[in-house]
Chains A and B, each alone.
Chain A
């Protein structure tokens, strides 16, 4: 069965510092991987996705993620965090044959210190 693990429940970084949010997945084949962000009281917004090809993918708001098959990881990074990045971040995996059925990690809440 597929699963997604986000080891960090809560992370605090200073504004301007770099950020890395961890995501590990369990899936037998090449997965379809996603990062979503959820601000308080809002739905989820897609940051970026990986299906194949270049393992470093660029997303919106200055985020990027790197797919590492050997480590079953898809970590999200940002070189310089802004206060508006404070939100909850979800990593998700999908199979190609199950439409929009996403398996989500438990989420990582990001706080940004001034």
Chain B
């Protein structure tokens, strides 16, 4: 079974630019989650998508946005990049329903560096 795949693995952007990160969930998983792992801040919940709809959002500004496609893959968009957006962005997926029925499976992440 293929795991959660994320692309690209690394990228470097300049402050003020925009970036799009991509995630393909495990086959059969309809929920996709995005987390940010920034140095010194730990892992923080960003977004949760299920069946194409945004279900929950963490405490991040509106320039962080995303969407989920009919095939359940997802994109995370970050506009007007700031230096503190430099982080590892992790995508996770699960079957639908409550987390106690379907724990999250994580991808290896996209390392974003903003200069």
Give the distance in Å from the alpha carbon of A99 to the alpha carbon of B34 in the complex: 12
* Majority-rule SS of B interface residues: strand
Selecting from B12-20, B43-51, B62-70, B71-79, the interface stretch reads: B43-51
Q: Which of A45, A46, A49, A106 contacts B42 (CB 8 A)?
A: A106
- The interface on chain A, measured as residues whose beta carbon lies within 8 A of the other chain's beta carbons, has a size of 25
Give the distance in Å from the alpha carbon of A46 to the alpha carbon of B104 in the complex: 8
Contact between A101 and B45 (Cβ–Cβ < 8 Å)? Answer: yes
Task: Say whether A43 faces chain B, with CB atoms less than 8 Å apart.
Answer: yes
Contact between A42 and B100 (Cβ–Cβ < 8 Å)? Answer: no
What residues of A have a CB within 8 angstroms of the CB of B87 in the complex? none
Shortest Cβ gap from B70 to chain A (Å): 20
Task: With a 10 A CB-CB cut-off, give which of A46, A92, A101, A106 has the most chain B CB atoms.
Answer: A101
Given A51-B100, A100-B31, A101-B56, residue A41 in contact with residue B108 (CB < 8 A): yes
Contact between B94 and A100 (Cβ–Cβ < 8 Å)? Answer: yes
Taking Cβ atoms with an 8 Å cutoff, the residues of A that contact B are 32, 34, 36, 41-46, 49, 51, 90, 92, 94, 96, 98-107
